Amino acid sequence: MNFNNQTQTVDYKELESLRCEVAKLRNEKAVFKAQSHLLEKLVSMARSSTEGEVLKTALQTTLDVATEQTHSEKGSLFLLEPSGKVTDAILSRTEVTPEQRKNLIGNVLDKGLAGWVIRHRELGLITDTENDDRWLTLPNQPYQVRSALAVPIIRGEELLGIITLLHSQPGHFSQETANLMLLTADQMSLVLENARLYSKLDKYSKALDAELEKGRQIQIDFLPYELVKQPNWEIAACFYPARQVAGDFYDTFELPNNQVGLVIADVCDKGVGAALFMALMRSLIRVFSSETQLRGLAHQILEDNQPIGGWIGESDFKNLDHLNALQAVSRTNEYVAQNHWQMSMFATMFFGVLEPETGILTYINGGHEPLFIVNQSGVKNTLKSTGPAVGMMSGSKFKIQQVQLEPGDILIGYTDGVTEGKNPEGKLFTDKRLRDILEQPAGSAKDLLNSIKTNLFAFVADAPQFDDITMLCINRVAEERIVKI
């Protein structure tokens, strides 16, 4: 008999152990299922939700998972700040007004079960609301509550929120159910924390986008609103930033004695920093080119700064005008190198001074891409670099060159965003492709720009734009075109 009793006792212990193991496995399976569902939903939200929806959807999904696991009839979720203030909530009583909702939340968090959980930071289980003073019966309650379960959602030391689950029958929520919810709450805290961070990041990102959009508009305003117009000359340009703000810029402006300044430049790097330096350098070139006055004897100044091959222009007075304006490059270089050397910012830059009456162009090419002079026969001349990039080193020397644009000639300048445009396979547009286009006849500056853009954008297709794309084109209109016009 004793033996049988002992056998029965052993069997009972084994069965109890087995029951606990099954319950544990069942809980682990339920927690894993909840975790998978929550995380899957979070990823889906991040990919597709619009502004304000991520956090709301995360709250609703968290509440749905909790009510499903516990077979609850009703449920509410409160999202809390570290101070304890409710930042958002999903209530079962969807029919209440905003004022009633506010009072309802205040009462529940002050005197109700949720408030008890906040103060104690532990799970609150009520098997029968009629026998538990932690339950607050509210006036005009549309449904009867006899059992309740309030679960704190804690991440580290921070209480992120509280889920309150309700049922109309007493004893619906057991301790086993409560333990399951405590395990699931860990996964819920991860989802809520990430959703809250994502929501903050989303708001910050949109605020940053708004600021960058302002910066983009300001930068566009730095570019010439209208290109300089001169009789018998056509000037065209295009500007396609890779980001909202860019380091490329072009400029055309009038100089004293009916000269025209032509600039195309590319500040190193991209984004906000490059855009700020673009604005700085553009302003410095404009200011310095209009105010610089070389001192000394005219013939000595012209001799000291003589281009290779000598001066084309016969007027010493106009050659001096060109030299005065081009000193802006050296002065800009010194200003940037001396005042902003720690930023390691510089720009490749072409600055030319055009004399519209004769077509004489005096220029400095500070480390920029070569500019081309083309006509109906193809590439006629290449304006290569005459000095280093601007702002790279104090004391840099910039040689001056001079050419003459004849009727029918087109001068085309561009930034490396053109030749380094990438297609979806990562291949570059290359100098060769650009050169092939330039060898084809072009009737006008606008036609040439359109031809380059058409070929470049067809090559790039739907690949992300790698760099800013900027072009400046100047055409000395041929006589036959002047007659037609």
210-236: average pLDDT: 77
Residue 267 has pLDDT above 70, yes or no: yes
374 and 447 in a single domain? The answer is yes
Rounded CA gap, 429 and 392, in Å? 28
In a domain, 344, yes or no: yes
The H or E element spanning position 460 is helix 445-460
Q: Given a cut of 50, is residue 159 above it in pLDDT?
A: yes
Task: Supply the pLDDT for residue 144.
Answer: 84
Average pLDDT over residues 408-426: 95
CATH code: domain of residue 320: 3.60.40.10
> Could you read off the pLDDT of 429-443 as tens digits, one per residue?
999 999 999 999 998
147 within 8 A of 169, measured Cβ to Cβ: yes
- Euclidean distance between CA atoms 303 and 29, whole angstroms: 89
**Residues 227 and 282 both lie in one domain:** yes
Structural domain range at position 31:
13-206
pLDDT at 96: 47
| pTM of full prediction above 0.85 | no
**Helices marked H in 232-371 — which ranges?**
271-291, 298-304, 316-339
CB atoms within 10 A of CB 278: 24
Question: Does 3 fall in a domain?
Answer: no
Is 8 part of a structural domain of the chain?
no
Neighbours of 128 (CB within 10 A): 14
DSSP string, 21-79: HHHHHHHHHHHHHHHHHHHHHHHHHHHH--TTHHHHHHHHHHHHHHHHHHT-SEEEEEE
198 domain residue, yes or no: yes
Domain co-membership, 244 together with 202: no
Looking at residue 196, its pLDDT comes to: 67
Predicted pLDDT at 453:
96
* Mean pLDDT computed over 352-362: 96
Q: Which pLDDT score is estimated for 290?
A: 86
Min mean pLDDT across 125-134, 310-319, 417-426 is at 310-319
pLDDT of residue 328: 94
- Pair 300, 319: CB distance under 8 Å: no
Question: For 414-441, what is the mean pLDDT?
Answer: 94
Task: Identify the weakest region by mean pLDDT among 155-159, 261-265, 405-409.
Answer: 155-159
Task: Give the mean model confidence (pLDDT) for residues 288-307.
Answer: 78
Instruction: Supply 372's token pair.
Output: 């081309």
Q: What CATH code is carried by the domain that includes residue 69?
A: 3.30.450.40
Condensed to tens digits (0 to 9), the pLDDT of residues 107-140 reads 556 678 888 888 888 899 999 999 998 888 766 6
Same domain, 177 and 229: no
pLDDT of residue 182: 81
Mean pLDDT of 43-51: 46
For range 369-380, the mean pLDDT? 96
Q: What is the pLDDT at residue 431?
A: 95
Residue 176 pLDDT more than 70? yes
The verdict on 199 and 231 lying in the same domain is no
The DSSP annotation for 139-202 comes to TT-SS---EEEEEEEEETTEEEEEEEEEESSTT-S-HHHHHHHHHHHHHHHHHHHHHHHHHHHH
Residue finishing a domain among 154, 172, 206: 206
SS3 assignment, position 126? strand
Length of the chain: 485
pLDDT band for position 157 (cuts 50, 70, 90): confident
Number of domains in the chain: 2
Query: How far is the C-alpha of 233 from the C-alpha of 445, rounded, in Å?
Result: 10
pLDDT at 483: 43
Task: Mark whether 351 and 293 lie in a shared domain.
Answer: yes
My answer on whether 281 and 197 are in the same domain is no
pLDDT at 103 over 60: no
Regarding whether 264 and 159 lie in a shared domain, the answer is: no
The reply to whether 213 falls in a domain is no
Is the residue at 215 inside a domain? Answer: no
Helix 271-291 and helix 316-339, axial crossing angle in degrees, nearest 10: 140
At residue 351, does pLDDT exceed 90? yes
What percent of the chain is predicted at pLDDT more than 90?
39
Of the chain, the percentage scoring pLDDT greater than 70 comes to: 74
Kindly state the average pLDDT of the residues 290-315.
78
In a domain, 315, yes or no: yes
Nearest residue to 248 (alpha-carbon basis) of 268, 230, 233: 268
Residues 316 and 167 in one domain: no
407, 368 Cβ separation under 8 angstroms: no
Averaged pLDDT for residues 33-50: 48
User: What is the mean predicted confidence (pLDDT) over 314-319?
Assistant: 82
Q: Identify the top-confidence range among 263-277, 285-299, 318-332.
A: 318-332
Cα 339 from Cα 331, distance rounded (Å): 12
Question: Do 347 and 201 belong together in one domain?
Answer: no
pLDDT, position 210: 63
- Are 242 and 330 part of one and the same domain? yes
Kindly write down the DSSP assignment for every residue of 364-417, as one continuous string: EEESPPPEEEEETTEEEEEE---B--BTSSTT-----EEEEPPTT-EEEEE-HH
Last residue of a domain, one of 178, 206, 234: 206
In a domain, 217, yes or no: no
Q: How many CB atoms lie within 10 A of CB 160?
A: 24
Q: pLDDT tens, 4-38?
A: 444 444 454 554 555 555 444 455 555 445 444 54
Please check the confidence at residue 428 and state whether its pLDDT lies above 50: yes
Res 329: pLDDT: 95
Q: What pLDDT is stored for residue 15 in this prediction?
A: 46
At 80, which helix (H) or strand (E)? strand 74-80
Q: Are residues 72 and 149 in the same domain?
A: yes
**Per-residue model confidence (pLDDT) at position 60:** 78
Window from 134-143, 336-345, 377-386, 453-462 with minimum mean pLDDT: 134-143
Domain boundary among 179, 206, 233: 206
Q: Is the pLDDT of residue 364 over 80?
A: yes
